[in-house]
Amino acid sequence: MDLEKSIMSLADARGVSGNETTAAELALSMLKYYTDDCFIKNGNVIGHFGCKGAKPHILIDAHIDQIGFTVTHITDDGFLKISGCGGIDRRLLLAQPVTVLAKKPLDGVICAIPPHLETDESKVPEMEDICVDVGLTKVSAEEFISLGDKIVFASHCAKLQGDRITGAALDDRCGVASILRALELIKNKPLHSEITVMFSTQEEVGERGAKIGAFDIEPDIAIAVDVSFALTSGDSEVKCGAMGRGCMIGFSPVLDRELSQTFKAMAENRGLPYQIEVMSGTTGTNADRFSVNKHGVKAVTLSIPLKYMHTPVEVISLSDVENTAQLIAAYITEVSA
């Protein structure tokens, strides 16, 4: 498995919350290298490993959806009114190129009030003032586009200096890639516990795929592999991790402290770089759902530091993804031994 290629192809696949099919099918095809027992159920990609019924049953999850928009209206002159899917940063929307995932993918540009009519360059447009220019009349637009169609930033993954990668949906496709990489690392090793991998839907709109997925899977332990904030200019050093310094292990009142400590000790014993991410309540990840699944589950977050979250130019370091994969693989190996 070429980690860089996998991350880039996963992050270039499209899958806005609620319509993750393209990205999910790609992830499923990659998961098939490691198990025949894998499928898509209710949108979630599920793969089974190890001994069925053996305890503890471990769930390893990353979300497959990405933020985007949904078409809500076509104006008389053929422009699309839109609503956000997930946390949208409206500061960067003007003149962004987008792809409308209609009957066939259509290119478009986000527009709002032009500079000669809006002299205040610090003004951030309201969502209701934003529309998408697809260069079509209303009649042609309606031929291809249905209300509810999803829209993504038209952005491609690219390499930066060193081992850094930029792209739009690295949140959380790099998490998906790190789990696949962990599976690669434990390939052919005997597993004496039950492991379920899930690439879940609708995290960006409230961890909904995680909720219904976990209900079926009924894990004893759940690991949510997601991204978290790497320090960027103007942000708080206390809140953020550092890019290139390894996986961020979550410590929070809603996470299982013993599990967090286990990961920390394991990273130390194996010489893997890691960082502690302290959160004072819920984590904003799928772990929040997992921990209260059915009668309760021990949960932890493993986060890959990422800069510029939810922009079309998110940035990660390849080494952080690799180190996160090493940590996941180490955990599975130890628990399953």
Partner 1 sequence: MTVELLEKLCMLNGASGDENRVRDFILSEISGYCEYRVDPLGNIIAEKKGKSTSSKKVMISAHMDEVGMIVTSVKSDGTLTVSPVGGIDPRVAIGRPVFVGDSDIYGVIGAKAVHNLSADEKKTAPKFDALYVDIGAEDKAAAEKLVSLGDFVHFSSEFIHFGDDFIKGKAIDDRFGCAVMIDLIKSELPYDCTFTFVVQEEVGLRGSQAAAYRVAPDFAIVLEATTAADIPLASGEKRCCELGRGAVVSYMDRSTIYDKELYGISRDIALKNGIKWQTKTMVAGGNDSGAIHISRGGIRTIAISAPCRYLHSPSCVVKLSDLEDCEKLAELMLEKMCTM
Q: In sequence order, what are the residues at sequence separation of 6 or more whose Cβ sits closer than 8 angstroms to the Cβ of residue 256? A: 221, 291, 298, 299, 300
User: Residue from 54, 95, 147, 265 that binds partner 1 (CB under 8 A)?
Assistant: 95
Quick check: 103 binds partner 1 (CB under 8 A)?
no
* 35 CB-side CA count, 13 A: 22
Q: Is 87 an interacting residue with respect to partner 1 (CB under 8 A)?
A: yes
Q: Which residues have CB under 8 Å from 237's CB, separation 6+?
A: 231
Interface with partner 1 includes 278 (CB under 8 A)?
Answer: no
What residues act catalytically? 203
Rounded-to-integer distance, Cα 25 and Cα 3, Å:
18
Q: In this chain, which of 4, 12, 25, 89 binds partner 1, going by CB under 8 A?
A: 89
Q: If binding is defined by CB under 8 A, does position 109 make contact with partner 1? A: yes
Q: Is 133 near partner 1 (CB under 8 A)?
A: yes
Q: Is 145 exposed, middle or buried (0-12, 13-18, 19+ CB in 10 A)?
A: buried
Q: Which of 2, 36, 53, 116 binds partner 1 (CB under 8 A)?
A: 116
Q: In this structure, how many other beta carbons lie within 10 angstroms of the beta carbon of residue 70?
A: 19
Interaction of residue 311 with partner 1, rule CB under 8 A: yes
Number of Cβ within 10 Å of residue 227's Cβ equals 28
219 near partner 1, rule: CB under 8 A? no
User: In this chain, which stretch among 50-58, 117-125, 194-202, 211-219 interacts with partner 1, using CB under 8 A?
Assistant: 117-125
Query: Residue ranges of the alpha helices (H) in 232-317?
Result: 257-270, 287-290
Residue 93 CA from chain centroid, whole number: 20
> Exactly one of 12, 25, 129, 220 binds partner 1 (CB under 8 A); which one?
129
Structure tokens at 294: 């059915």
Binding mask 32-71 for partner 1 (x = CB under 8 A): ----------------------------------------
Which parts of this chain interact with partner 1 (CB under 8 A)?
Answer: 75, 77, 79, 87-92, 94-97, 106-109, 111-117, 121-124, 129, 131, 133-137, 140, 154-155, 158-162, 164, 166, 229, 231-236, 239, 244, 284, 307-313, 315
